[in-house]
Structure 1
Amino acid sequence: MLFPSKPHSESTHCDALANYEAQVQTSELTLAGNDCLPPPASPTDSEHKFQGGRPHRLVLSEYEVIGRLRALPHDATPIVLTFGPRDLDNPRNWSTARKWYVTCFVSMLNVLTCLCAGGYSSGTPLLREEFHVPSVVTTAGLSTYILGFAFGPMLLAPLSEHWGRNPIYMWSWLVLVILQIPAALANSMPTLIGIRFLQGFAGSAPLTNTGGTVADLWERDYSGAPMAIYGLSSTLGPPLALPITGYLAQYKGWRWLFWFFMAVLGTAWIIMVLTLPETRHTIILAQKTRRLRDQFSALGHPSSSCIQNPPDEGLGHLFKVTLTRPIRFLFTEPITFSAAAYNGLIYGLVFLFNESFPLVFGRLHGFTHAQTSLTFLGLCVGSLVAPFLHPLQEKHYLRVCTPESRMWSGLPACFLLPISLFWFAWTSSPHVHYMVPIIASSFFGAGIFVVVLGVLNFVLDAYGSYTASSLAGVILVRNLVGAVFPLFAESMYESMGYRWAGMLLGLLALLFCGVPFLFYYHGVEIRRKSKWASMHGDTRSHEVGE
């Protein structure tokens, strides 16, 4: 554990509460009895909402609800359940080991869906030969998958808010597993391209849910290390896909790629069904409410109907917000617009850069397709080394604790992108040893991890409860760019030449290096001018020199 768990506030009934909750977990509490009952909740114990001078509803913990209903059996005041300070049903109160297991597992799902996306590229040369189509057509199979990434969250995000994380994980993942069968049996490129879009749509569930799962499990000030794991899964997945699938495609054929995906994804689905708990707070509270109401109702308690479900504005409202607010944020919120533009550019550079590897190492150095796939390990090494520097970023953040401080490590890291791209471009020659551009790519992988994680954390801290809408806009732009850029990558390299095309990528990365500095030094002023960001959090300035 890199950082200590955040201590919870003490209650006046701490010992009784701990005993009671242990009994609830093991179903040892008998509501009809008189033992282990807490005192009735008083107004100072609970949050009240008033309407017309009278309590509109009481927000109580399960511990307090039992005490109140036993003490005031005929009271008709509506009660809404919340988590108690040490409620073991609250995901943030789970053991550290359990929280880390869930965090790592859902992050692994992110890696696997990226594996399914990028691993397809290992079979594109074979697809061109079998179906006699140009490279832009086979590349469309990658682009449509990323396009599914762009639009899938628009549907899956509100469903996860309404039905919970687990149903979305499990059902969408099962669809992704099943869709590997028609892909493996496809007899035409149009069929395969259409299936790939559906795969990307179903496979976007981790993009929608993983960040929410991390937020469910960890207090915001102590989520730095879990978010680093999530960020690593996003940056490690694409370059890791090709080394894993390169030799399989070369020696077994492109259809075996999809059978391999089915086996790996299917194994993950079985583990998911058996071990992954629900983490969405409102869903857990609704389940607790239903259980408590049924227990009191079975005993004939007159006030059992007063225990109400948490307020729910309905799935229709969620869809309305999900489909409209991200677009509104993109065009009215400077933070969202800047983060989306920068994130989109970075992922565009990633896909363009990845497309250069078969050209540079295959054509210039004479590598086979399987050997070329191993050159992506340089990107993987950079992505794996960068997280070891993340504790320095967290140390700075915990000292300053402002959204802008999330960008601290991104200030030097943003220059790794143009430097590594220039380095790669000028060493892309048959007269330069192939390890030199591979080493350059490792610095690119490290820079991508640090910068992308910094931007995502800055947006999370800046918008608070509105983060989902802002990140949805950022992810939409990122994946739309990622879907389009691979389509013209090969023609760009062939028309401009490998060196000058690489120089163009480096210049674009250099041009946008000002965005992290803008967020770090002027983020406070930008948040003050933002309608949504100013409604959340602290807009105090910080000492940027710390």
Structure 2
Amino acid sequence: MPPDNSSNTDGKNRPVSQASAALPDDNEYEVTLCPEDDPKSFSTPRKWLITLAICNAALCATFASSVASFTETGLQRDLHTIREVTILSISLYVQGLALGPLLFAPLSEVYGRNNVYRAAYFLFWVFTWPIAFPPDIETFLVFRFLTGFSSSAFLSVAGGSVSDLFDNNQVATPMGVYTLSPFFGPILGPLISGFICNNTNWRWAYRVCLIYEFVTLITLLVFVPETYVPVILKRKAAKLRKQTGNDKYWAPLDRREGSMMHKIMLSIYTPFRLLLIDRMALSLNTWNALTLGILYLTFEAFPVIFGDVRGFNYQETGLAFLGMGVGMIGALCTQGLWNRFHRNVAAQNGGKLPPETRLIMGMVGGVLAPIGLFWLAFTTYRAVPWIVPIIASSLFGAAVYYIFTSTFTYLVTAYRPIAASAMASNTALRCCFAAAFPLFAVQMYDRLTTVGATALLAGLMTLMAPLPFIYYRMGKNLRAQSKFAVVDG
């Protein structure tokens, strides 16, 4: 399940409807959700149209992060800087992705998911203009951070929209599609950027982003309605008050405790407290962070492996990323089998699916990741056919999907009372790793060679591979000892 920092709880982790108890004599004026108001009552085609619009927005956000991968030479030449500075164009964007959810999550709880989407994406588009037409490197880097920050709403809030639309027994497949979107975007970025930078000016990479973002913004305005039930009820109560002139109509969100500043501070405090105190959350988040860090490191590593060693041009090196993309899509195609497996396990447990069952998918990813990376490491020699390391990278792509899908769903079920904070901690840590890894990629590959550097990454993934196996066996006991996790389930 993808990152979602929105929550149906108040600042004290109580349900919204209990945030402020209604007086007995005005319960009759509390608005309720009618079938025509419920996003789950939308037709299936409309639900999928909304879901695909949201998935496209998430893909666009992470596509913009990696589209910079082949623009570094042009940046050095035209903005008079050095390579180490141009690498910040990826790192600063991803750091913005890490910090943005801490603001957008609490805002979405008050103003709704849709208002946050529209405002954030409009800013995303506006902030891209100084990147597409930069006067100097300083302006370029500042606005790369700001675009990453504003686009992060689709890594923190959008997953909640998907769960708003589908019942629990239907949500797995659309959530799988959404989960893939922000991880397929970084694969698509170098592919498109390679074609552009090989055939025209590097600035067109960011001008294409401008066009893509504008089209995406229009689809959000036209096709995506508000789906967050507490905000729907709040608007319904306001409408009834206006129509009837009776100010007694109310929704639970109208009586919610705590200021916006309190919600923002809680959004920042709780995830980091979880990382510091809960060892299970910390280790799983570190596993995710290492995986995403390696994915972003490939934006600097593949030009070395396929460009410097094999003599590929930008366009051909960009196509080399298709291996990971095919692996991710192949893994998504197995989602139906995993859904059936989870239904069978739930049927054997009285209709309940233990959270640790979700980690079985992570076991597959944990094994595939080091296999793919070791295979890639020892096939980077020029004498080996170019297709062989690309096939190896497809195993890592499949592993990425399995690792993140299993961990996300485990965190939101095992840490159900603070699911938003659990996902916020995951997002913050993995995006920090993703921002840092590209900074030392070139130096690492220069010193250790393509074989040694890639094998080192494979070794790190090997050390992390036992985690899903350990928590599958010990997770229930560790949840019982945790201050944050649920005991039942």
TM-score computed with the length of structure 2 as normaliser? 0.91
For the pair 1:340 / 2:282, whether they are aligned, the reply is no
> Is the contact between residue 56 and residue 78 of structure 1 (CA under 8 Å) also seen in structure 2?
no
- Tell me which amino acid in the other structure corresponds to 2:267: T
Alpha-carbon contact 2:327-2:394 (below 8 Å) kept: yes
Equivalent residue in structure 2 for 1:136, among 76, 84, 102: 84
The answer to whether 1:327 aligns with 2:272 is yes
Higher mean Cα deviation, 352-361 or 364-373? 352-361
Contact between 2:53 and 2:219, CA under 8 Å: does it hold in 1? Answer: no
Corresponding residue of 1:105: 53
Aligned counterparts of 1:206 and 1:56: Cα–Cα separation in 2:
34
2:230 corresponds in structure 1 to: 282
Mapped contact 1:393–1:406 kept (Cα < 8 A) = no
Indicate the larger mover: 188-197 or 480-489: 188-197
> Contact conserved, 2:96 with 2:145, CA < 8 A, in 1?
yes
Question: In structure 2, which of residues 291, 310, 321 is the aligned counterpart of residue 376 of structure 1?
Answer: 321
CA separation in 1, counterparts of 2:341 and 2:476?
17
**Amino acid in the other structure paired with 1:342:** W
- Displacement of 1:285 in angstroms is 0.4
Opposite residue 309 of structure 1, the aligned amino acid is A
- Does 2:260 match 1:312? no
Is residue 191 from structure 1 mapped to residue 191 from structure 2 by the alignment?
A: no
1:481-524 deviation digits (Å, cap 9, x = unpaired) = 11111000000000111101111011000000011112222211
Query: Take 1:293 and 1:368, find their aligned partners in 2: how far apart are those partners?
Result: 64
Instruction: Find out whether 1:205 has 2:153 as its counterpart.
Output: yes
Alignment partner, residue 373 of structure 2? 421
Rounded to whole Å, the distance in 2 between the matches of 1:335 and 1:140 is: 32
Distance 2:262 2:381 in 1: 56
CA distance in 2, matches of 1:113, 1:305: 42
Amino acid in the other structure paired with 2:33: F
- Between the aligned partners of 1:251 and 1:403, the Cα distance in structure 2 is 49
2:288 aligned with 1:352, yes or no? no
Letter of the 1:245 partner, please give it.
Answer: S
1:81 maps to amino acid: V
Return the offset for 1:56: 4.4
Mapped partners of 1:483, 1:261: distance in 2: 20
For the 8 Å contact 2:230–2:251, the answer to whether it is kept is no
**What is the rounded CA distance, in whole Å, between the counterparts of 1:503 and 1:133 in structure 2?**
32
1:82-481 to 2 correspondences below 5 Å: 82-84=32-34, 87-297=35-245, 304-310=246-252, 311-313=255-257, 314-400=259-345, 401-481=353-433
1:126-158 deviations in Å (ceiling 9; x for gaps): 212333433221101110000100111111111
Helix, strand or coil: the match of 2:31? Answer: strand
1:385-413 Cα offsets, whole Å, 9 max, x none, are 11111112112222231211111222122
Q: Distance in 1 between matches of 2:27 and 2:155?
A: 41
Rounded to whole Å, the distance in 1 between the matches of 2:75 and 2:455 is 30
Q: Does 1:81 align with 2:31?
A: yes
The structure-2 alpha-carbon separation of the partners of 1:290 and 1:374, relative to structure 1 and needing over 3 Å to count, comes to same
The two structures, once aligned, show a CA RMSD in angstroms of: 1.9
Q: Which amino acid in structure 2 is aligned with residue 500 of structure 1? A: G
Aligned residue for 2:30, secondary structure, equals strand
Is contact 1:347–1:478 with CA below 8 Å preserved after alignment? yes
In structure 1, distance between residues paired with 2:71 and 2:435: 18
Q: Deviations over 1:45-82 (max 9, x none)?
A: xxx99x9xxx9446xxxxxxxxxxxxxxxx65563222
Q: Using the alignment, how far apart are the partners of 1:149 and 1:490 within structure 2?
A: 23
Gaps in structure 2 of 5+ consecutive residues = 1-16, 346-352
Residue range with higher mean Cα deviation, 503-512 or 458-467: 458-467
Does the CA-based 8 Å contact 1:57-1:78 persist in structure 2?
A: no
Instruction: Determine if the alignment matches structure 1 residue 506 to structure 2 residue 458.
Output: yes
* Higher alpha-carbon Rg: 1
Q: 1:215 to 1:57 in 2, by over 3 A?
A: farther
Instruction: Verify the 8 A CA contact 2:67 2:193 in the aligned structure 1.
Output: yes
Query: In the alignment, is the contact (CA less than 8 A) between 2:163 and 2:175 conserved in 1?
Result: no
Displacement of 1:467 in angstroms is 0.7
1:464 is displaced (CA, Å) by 2.1
Number of the residue aligned with 1:529: 481
**Take 1:477 and 1:77, find their aligned partners in 2: how far apart are those partners?**
43
Q: Is the 8 A contact 2:372 2:393 kept in 1?
A: yes
**Aligned with residue 520 of structure 1, among 460, 472, 475:** 472
- Give the residue type in structure 2 aligned to 1:106: I
Q: Secondary structure at the match of 1:170?
A: helix
Q: Is 2:108–2:157's contact at 8 Å kept on the other side of the alignment? A: yes
Deviations 1:312-353 (A, max 9, x none): 224233112111111111112233212211111111121223
Partner Cα distance (1:413, 1:474) in 2:
18
- Count of residue pairs the alignment pairs up: 462
1:90-128, CA deviations, whole angstroms, 9 ceiling, x for partnerless residues? 112222222222122111111101111101112112212
Tell me which amino acid in the other structure corresponds to 1:519.
Answer: Y
Q: 1:483 to 1:77 in 2, by over 3 A?
A: closer
**Compared CA separation, residues 287 and 524, structure 1 to 2 (3 A):** same
For 2:480, give the aligned amino acid.
R
Are the equivalent residues in 2 in contact too, given 1:356–1:490 (CA < 8 A)? yes
Higher relative contact order, structure no. (Cα contacts within 8 Å, ≥ 6 residues apart): 2
Contact 1:334/1:526, CA 8 A, preserved across alignment: no
